[in-house]
Structure 1
Amino acid sequence: MISGNSMNPTIKDHNLIFISKLFYTPERENIILVENNDGMTIIKRLIGMPNDIIEIKDHTIYVNNKPLKENYTKGLTEDMKKVTLKAGQYFVIGDNRSPVESLECRDPALGPIYRSQMKGEALFSLLPFGKLNH
């Protein structure tokens, strides 16, 4: 059961989702469960892979200097200086880009994540029933 609005409009507060913890291989734009630095599980969209360069300019996310085509967001993404991910690092962000709606890699309290923090992939919503945007 989801608690919060960080993935709205894709996943809303109190949606019940089905996740896969088996055989998960990280892929860009997957919706994943992540264990944050406090041991809490959060749900985010994976947009940056190891060694990627991530920048947010004029409310657009650039991955390796190419704009990321997103049709699943809400709100305007605040600009961010270029970040180069190191080997083994990943970048996750919420679909709800309204300020203070999401703890994600732009927040120094989380920063880039590692494969060991990924707990699985969200595959579909059980309530309401439907496929999640990927």
Structure 2
Amino acid sequence: MSFPYLSHDVAGEGPAVLLLHSSVCDRRMWDPQWRVLIDAGFHLIRPDFRGHGDSPAVPGPHSDAEDVRDLLDELNVDRVAVVGSSFGGRVALEFAARWPERVGSLTLLCAGAPGHRPSAVLTAFSDKEDQLIAADDI
């Protein structure tokens, strides 16, 4: 399923849970939890961020948090439990800070934080990642 920029899966009945993936993954990272959470009675939503999985890398500036908000609007989901891993955790933090009334709970797994100063090792990794992306070698 596609919503302007974010491919996503939706399944299950019950309280809504939004699963936001790490930057080195796509929505499939949640496969091990998917069936378990559906069987536990949750309504799951797992998007691919732009440039990940089945979501196109649309050129130009954008906000992943705004993309998530727009997707939830399209799905008529007003309030959600948000689970974010790594980069997805950073997006989850921004989403929760900008639209706190939409977040019932927030679970962060090794989340990146805005304003955090990266180590030299992380900076080198990020530079290499940028080079690979620029070379279309994802």
More strand by percentage = 1
Same fold by TM-score greater than 0.5: no
Higher relative contact order by CA 8 Å / sep ≥ 6: 1 or 2?
1
Q: TM-score, normalised by structure 2?
A: 0.24
More helix by percentage = 2
Q: TM-score, normalised by structure 1?
A: 0.24
